[in-house]
Amino acid sequence: MSEKKKNITIPKSIKAKWEEIQATDNGLAWMLCTVEGGLKKSLKLFKTGTGGHPHFQEFITDTAILFGGFKTTVYEEKGDATSVTDKFIFFLYSGENVPSFKKAQIVPTFTEVSTCFGNCVLRQIFEGKEDFSTESMEKKLANLDRGEAKYDWTNGKAVGTLDIPEKSSPPKPPQDKSLKRTPTKEEADDDDGDDEPMNIRVRLPTKQTAKLEVPPSTTVAALKKIINANHYKALGPEQMKLTYHKKKMKDDQSLRSAGVEENGLIYLKGPFVVVVEMPDKKTIFVLSKSSQTSNDVRTSICKTQSLGDPKNVALFFRGKMLISTKTLKEQHIFSGDKLTCTVRAETRVSFLVSTYGDAHGSNQNMAKIILDGFQVRYELVDGALPEYKDRRNELFAISGKRGVYPQLFIDDKYIGSHAEIEDLNETGELQTLLGPIQADPSQKATKGPKSGRFDW
């Protein structure tokens, strides 16, 4: 059976504060709560104080809608004895000038909110100041009391305080020196009693969504640092731009003042950045644009990391080599995606093959066996793979022979195809050509490279 949908979000701090009022002798005797939000409503702690019913009348106006609870001291005469007890009342108050449609939005939440205010002898919806008067409440409580009862609505505990006129000016609660002053936005944001952590979502440039649990008083600047530390290191906090409901969020704003609600979705934007893992496993961040080609990124890396000729650098995304002439967008790379960089050792020998079909299979295999026997480092270019297209065309331009495989090059000079390779090997001329390369320790290899498609 599915769980019943909640009409309002109630922080745990509300119930905890009410239990504190009931269980401790710290002087607190009442609390008021407001309802915020539209479709997604949430209950917010507004004020607490000492005294009793007369001491929060400053906030009971004709335009107010407030949930609350308060304590009253009851003196009951039973024969010759008088008992003194504390009783608690939960209420929803709406002023006479509150529009009917607003009342209709709040009243259905009464039962849910009521569950946070335990041990109350009266749970009532009051409309207007007259209905919320002490005389009105005494009439409602008369059916609950046994014997003759008198109420001290100020909780003064002294009989002499029972006759305080209803319209007298209430004293300020000693712990609240700003009773008549509306708190500033900054003060409301810093109210620890109303800072229950909430869940939010952040849509990253990688199209992934990070889930965070943070207090509503968290500033946007602090949120950026949290995102950078735990979810997205490609951008520094100073480079991040956060938006909520298409509105830019300012660093000095709190999530509450920015209107962020429970499970709200915040978008993270900033410069286009790709994350690159270098051969030494170090990670670097490269500022780029989605319209740039992978060759542009490769060239930028070579300049900043002093890697030499970009032709010796290859970039991979999810195990696949990037095509140098295609843009990052065309290759479905988004800001924050991680690339892997490999650097090919400088070689003087290039071997052009094609692993497409079996048309060149036997000729290529024999030529590769011969070349591997010299144990020299060489560049293997698989013309059947799109990532080698540019290099393949460069070699075709040198030899003047398109579609012919295999082809051997030394120092970017065309040597020949399979027939020439076999003939040069038989006559010993291939040894003459490769001998100086064999003598160079940096060009020595014990095993030949593999193609991108076949395991030779």
Residue 94 near residue 60, CB atoms below 8 Å: no
Ranges of the chain with pLDDT below 50? 1-2, 157-193, 452-456
Q: In three state form, how does the secondary structure of the chain look? A: CCCCCCCEECCHHHHHHHHHHHHCCCCEEEEEEEEECCCCEEEEEEEEEECCHHHHHHHCCCCCEEEEEEEEEEEEEECCEEEEEEEEEEEEEECCCCCHHHHHHHHHHHHHHHCCCCCCCEEEEEECCCCCCHHHHHHHHHCCCCCEEEEECCCCCCHHHCCCCCCCCCCCCCCCCCCCCCCCHHHHHCCHHHCCCEEEEEECCCCCEEEEEECCCCEHHHHHHHHHHHCCCCCCHHHCEEEECCEECCCCCECCCCCCCCCEEEEEECCEEEEEECCCCCEEEEEECCCCEHHHHHHHHHHHHCCCCHHHEEEEECCEECCCCCECCCCCCCCCCEEEEEECCCCCEEEEECCCCCCCHHHHHHHHHHHHHCCECEEEEECCCHHHHHHHHHHHHHHCCCCCCCEEEECCEEEECHHHHHHHHHHCHHHHHHHHHHCCHHHECCCCCCCCCCCC
Do 37 and 102 lie in one domain? The reply is yes
Do 39 and 159 lie in one domain? The reply is yes
Q: How many domains does the chain have?
A: 4
Does the pTM exceed 0.75? no
CATH, residue 413:
3.40.30.10
Residue 146 is predicted with a pLDDT of 58
Residue 443's alpha-carbon distances to 374, 403, 414, 435, in angstroms, are: 11, 28, 19, 11
Do 266 and 404 lie in one domain? The reply is no
Residue 360 is predicted with a pLDDT of 63
Q: Residue 368's closest CA among 414, 417, 321?
A: 417
Do 24 and 110 lie in one domain? The reply is yes
| Euclidean distance between CA atoms 378 and 450, whole angstroms | 11
Last residue of a domain, one of 270, 298, 329: 270
Do 339 and 412 lie in one domain? The reply is no
Residue 273 is predicted with a pLDDT of 85
Output the average pLDDT for the chain. 83
Give the amino acid at 445: A
Residue 178 is predicted with a pLDDT of 37
Do 66 and 88 lie in one domain? The reply is yes
Do 77 and 178 lie in one domain? The reply is yes
Residue 223's alpha-carbon distances to 35, 213, 255, 263, 278, in angstroms, are: 25, 11, 9, 15, 30
Residue 188 lies in a domain: no
Last residue of a domain, one of 182, 210, 244: 182
Residue 451 lies in a domain: no
Residue 187 is predicted with a pLDDT of 45
Residue 21 lies in a domain: yes
Residue 433 is predicted with a pLDDT of 92
pLDDT in tens, 293-344: 999 999 999 998 888 888 888 899 988 888 888 999 999 998 888 899 988 7
| Euclidean distance between CA atoms 410 and 277, whole angstroms | 31
Residue 389 is predicted with a pLDDT of 86
Residue 437's alpha-carbon distances to 91, 139, 156, 228, 432, in angstroms, are: 93, 108, 102, 49, 10
Residue 80 near residue 148, CB atoms below 8 Å: no
Do 231 and 298 lie in one domain? The reply is no
| Euclidean distance between CA atoms 364 and 268, whole angstroms | 51
Last residue of a domain, one of 343, 358, 393: 343
Residue 357 is predicted with a pLDDT of 62
Residue 454 lies in a domain: no
Residue 3 lies in a domain: no
Residue 2 lies in a domain: no
Residue 82 near residue 76, CB atoms below 8 Å: yes
Range of the domain at 283: 273-343
Do 242 and 323 lie in one domain? The reply is no
Residue 84 near residue 75, CB atoms below 8 Å: yes
Do 177 and 72 lie in one domain? The reply is yes
